Amino acid sequence: MSRARRKMGMWGEKVAAAYLAERGYEILERNVRNAEGELDIVAKQGDWIVFVEVKARGSQEFGSPEEALTVSKQDRLRKTAWAYLEERECLDALWRIDVVAIEGTQAGGVDRLEHYEYAVGGGMNP
């Protein structure tokens, strides 16, 4: 991954974490890695564990942030979330996978931010 892309990702995760915290989410962990992959943000909202995938773009030259969430990426997120729950012995927890899509730049700020709850199927719903 290029330095610029890594920097954009870190900026996006910082923006997303602040956005979620302002809305009452408790940020538990960031950039959690396990054998299945990486989780950008692990948060808690009430009784729910919320795994948040952050997609940030400086422009739509290569498509919108949402378009980067491919079927294979969704499958990997489900497996990574499940591994996280197994490792922490909380398989009975209520959980979901959200996506925060951000357009903007560190220098220019956020042009657009969308939060999609339950964006990736496979979580435990009430």
pLDDT of residue 124: 66
Distance of alpha carbon 41 from alpha carbon 25, whole angstroms = 11
Question: Model confidence over 28-75: pLDDT tens digits?
Answer: 999 999 999 999 999 999 999 999 999 998 877 777 888 888 899 999
- Write out pLDDT tens, residues 79-119: 999 999 999 998 889 999 999 999 998 788 899 999 999 99
Q: Closest Cα partner for 50 from 75, 69, 70, 30?
A: 30
Taking the C-alpha atoms of residue 29 and residue 67, their distance in angstroms, rounded to an integer, is 25
pTM of the model: 0.91
Q: In the CATH scheme, what architecture does the domain 3-124 have? A: 3-Layer(aba) Sandwich (3.40)
Distance CA(40)–CA(15), nearest Å, equals 12
Write b or e for each residue in 30-56: b if 16 or more Cβ atoms lie within 10 A of its Cβ, otherwise e. bebeeebbebbbbbebeebbbbbbbbb
